[in-house]
Homo-oligomer: A and B are copies of this chain.
Amino acid sequence: MSVKQSRGDFRSDNVAMVEPSIMAALVAANTGTQPPYGADEVSAELDARFSEMFGAPCRVFPVATGTAANALALAACLRSFGGVFCHEGAHIRLSEGGAVTAFSAGGSLLPLPGAGGMFDAAALAAGLEGAGIGNTQRAQPDAVSVTQVTERGRVYAPEVLAGIGALAKQKGLHFHLDGARFANALARLGCGPAEITTKIGVDILSFGATKNGAMSADAIVVFKPELVEPLRFLLRRAGQTWSKMRFAAVQLLAYVEGGLWLKLAAQANAQATRLSRGLAAIPGVELLEQVDANIIFAKLPPATIDRLIAENFHFYRRAEDTIRLVCRYDCPAEAVDGLLEVAKG
């Protein structure tokens, strides 16, 4: 379905174009020869650039997809009989085809409950309580993973993450953050990347860029040194080590250059805020989650949803009367206005 036929494409932020300056950077990087597999001059800048950005030394490993970022980051954290606590609705648990289990050679997803796709230290403590630590019949907790922005479009408050981080450290769990929409969370919180990672105990981060303007580059950012060595080998055997790595690295450098990533995320969030407020003002329409970033879950009269579809707006219909709308960085204001107009009827 291409945009020419669509009055508004709200299916996901991954339907977007590559942001022009990132594409320009790819073109500009296409000169001369470079050694393969990350030994090139562009990749050499990644660690320094991200370490500065996160205010702590880190290693950066570009990968082609968010699933690869999550599954390999966690594979470096889990023993084959280990498990990772995550929200029961987490993408790693429901939407990645068992990648975490596959790459960790048998690791388990240990679900925790919580509203808005969020859990807190208390829920983690309860999970640890019931985990059967030391009992060989049960998977042993090795890590905890939070998604920020959550799958329900909510943004964790830094204090909540700090609470989880403190407990994780105390219990010897690796702390992973699935940041497929990391920039959208920062744009919402108005804080720096360190505030919700290095400063609150995150050990390893899935750094999303593709959903917010890149072409095919997310990254695993490793803050805990002991996770670097296994990850290097897991990445290679996973076929995630690009031979022309410079073209992954350059996407990531252009993405963060001059705060581009935060600007793009702010644009997406702003349109989602406008759209959600407009929808909330329509009689018969109900927002199912607080809209913290660029994802909206809304309940509408089925007839209204049918009309939006007939009028060539695109989104995911989750039920007869329920839809999910995602605003991307390049979502036109007209698309938002148009959808609201049709929804008002």
Chain A positions within 8 Å of B, measured between CB atoms, are 1-4, 6, 9, 11-12, 14-18, 20, 23, 26-27, 30-36, 41, 63-69, 71-72, 79-81, 94-99, 101-102, 105-106, 108, 136-140, 210-211, 215-216, 230, 232-244, 247-248, 328
Contact = CB atoms under 8 A, between A and B. Distances in A.
B41 A17 contact: no
B81 A105 contact: no
Given A26-B215, A71-B239, 13 more contacts: A2-B34, A2-B41, A3-B31, A14-B36, A23-B30, A64-B216, A80-B80, A80-B105, A81-B97, A97-B137, A97-B237, A216-B216, A216-B247
A144 to B, nearest CB: 18
A311 to B, nearest CB: 17
Contact of A17 (B1, B16, B32): B32
7 contacts: A15-B36, A18-B244, A69-B239, A97-B139, A99-B239, A102-B238, A216-B216
B3 A32 contact: yes
B215 A247 contact: yes
A243 B96 CA distance: 12
A240 B102 contact: no
A320 B81 CA distance: 30
A30 B3 CA distance: 12
Contacts of A68: 238-240
B6 A233 contact: no
A32 to B, nearest CB: 3
A63 B63 CA distance: 12
A137 B95 CA distance: 5
Sorted nearest first, the 10 A-B pairs with minimum C-beta distance are A68-B239, A105-B105, A3-B32, A136-B236, A97-B237, A67-B239, A14-B243, A81-B233, A15-B33, A97-B236
A140 B233 contact: yes
Contacts of A41: 2
A233 B234 CA distance: 20
